[in-house]
């Protein structure tokens, strides 16, 4: 997926890759709802240095702990052990109202970096990771207590100014919920054969799920 001009803070390197700069503002509590939440939080407050897109349409606001059921949505999640690590994670929900839920940031990939790593609780459909307009394959390279660690080979873009996108695609008839956190660059290489193999397996499993959903 390619985007038009992205409105992000001027910067030479990527920032807020662990989402801990979030400020969701005053929270609301509702009887029967398990988490304090906030609606219509400006993206600049909820996800500093990131831009949010539903399909190709840039969004000005997101919610905190209040995803839209069945909708395409980006939600800041936190509190009560909800975050993968630290205080905040981001839920990318590929739903039925746009082609994808995406977060985008521009910066400079540090020199000497071989891999892009991120922690995630995977969804039922496809997550695309893009450098510029190119989709880069990724694969599981480790596990944690509540997440899978994924890695992608980004060595060809080291020391380059680039745009990085995380995009959860629409996956009917169910929401495609990917929760991500702790995006980092690493000087260690991720094995390309394992990335290609596991990405292919992931695509096959997604196709099998879609077949069963239709029969």
Q: Is 197 a domain residue?
A: yes
| d(C-alpha 182, C-alpha 118), whole Å | 6
Residue 172's pLDDT band (boundaries 50, 70, 90)? confident
| Strand pairing class (61-64; 73-78) | parallel
Residue 196's domain comprises 38-214
Q: Is 80 a domain residue?
A: yes
Using alpha carbons, select from 159, 180, 190 the residue that is nearest to residue 13. 159
Q: Is 156 a domain residue?
A: yes
Contacts of 148 (CB under 8 A, 6+ apart): 119, 120, 121, 122, 140, 142
Q: How many domains does the chain have?
A: 1
- What mean pLDDT is predicted for residues 131-153? 98
| Strand pairing class (38-42; 61-64) | antiparallel
Q: Taking the CA atoms of 146, 152, 157 and 158 in sequence, report the sign of the dihedral they define.
A: positive
Residue predicted with more confidence, 37 or 207: 37
- What mean pLDDT is predicted for residues 174-200? 77
Q: Is 155 a domain residue?
A: yes
pLDDT digits (tens, 9 = 90+) for 48-65: 999 999 999 999 999 999
Q: Which of 48-52, 89-93, 146-150, 198-202 has the least mean pLDDT?
A: 198-202
Residue 192's pLDDT band (boundaries 50, 70, 90)? low
Contacts of 54 (CB under 8 A, 6+ apart): 72, 73, 74, 97, 98, 100, 101, 102
Q: Is 5 a domain residue?
A: no
pLDDT digits (tens, 9 = 90+) for 84-104: 999 999 999 999 999 999 999
Task: Reply yes or no on whether the pLDDT at 10 is more than 70.
Answer: no
Q: Is 24 a domain residue?
A: no
- What mean pLDDT is predicted for residues 127-140? 98
Task: Reply yes or no on whether the pLDDT at 191 is more than 90.
Answer: no
Using alpha carbons, select from 121, 74, 128 the residue that is nearest to residue 98. 74
Residue predicted with more confidence, 170 or 11: 170
- CA distance readout (Å), 152 to 134, 199, 208, 210: 12, 11, 24, 25
Q: Is 15 a domain residue?
A: no
Query: pTM (2 decimals)?
Result: 0.84
Chain mean position to CA 206: 18
Instruction: Kindly report the average pLDDT of the chain as a whole number.
Output: 86
Q: Which of 27-36, 52-61, 202-211 has the least mean pLDDT?
A: 202-211
Q: What is the CATH number of the domain that holds 94?
A: 2.60.120
Task: Reply yes or no on whether the pLDDT at 28 is more than 80.
Answer: yes
Q: Is 115 a domain residue?
A: yes
């Amino acid at each position: 997926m390619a985007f038009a001009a992205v409105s992000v803070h001027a910067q030479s390197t990527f920032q807020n890759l662990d989402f801990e700069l979030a400020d969701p503002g005053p929270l609301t509590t509702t009887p029967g709802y398990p988490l304090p939440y906030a609606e219509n939080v400006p993206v600049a407050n909820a996800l500093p240095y990131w831009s949010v897109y539903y399909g190709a349409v840039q969004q000005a606001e997101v919610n905190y702990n209040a995803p839209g059921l069945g909708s395409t949505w980006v939600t800041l999640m936190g509190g009560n052990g909800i975050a993968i690590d630290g205080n905040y994670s981001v839920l990318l929900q590929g739903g039925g109202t746009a082609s994808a839920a995406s977060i985008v940031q521009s910066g400079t990939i540090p020199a000497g970096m071989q891999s892009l790593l991120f922690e995630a609780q995977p969804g039922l459909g496809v997550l695309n990771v893009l450098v510029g307009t190119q989709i880069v394959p990724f694969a599981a390279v480790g596990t944690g207590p509540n997440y899978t660690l994924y890695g992608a080979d980004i060595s060809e873009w080291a020391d380059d100014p680039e745009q990085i996108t995380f995009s959860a695609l629409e996956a009917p008839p169910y929401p495609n919920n990917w929760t991500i956190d702790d995006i980092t660059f690493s000087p260690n290489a991720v094995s390309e054969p394992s990335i290609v193999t596991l990405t292919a397996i992931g695509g096959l499993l997604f196709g099998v799920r879609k077949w069963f959903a239709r029969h």
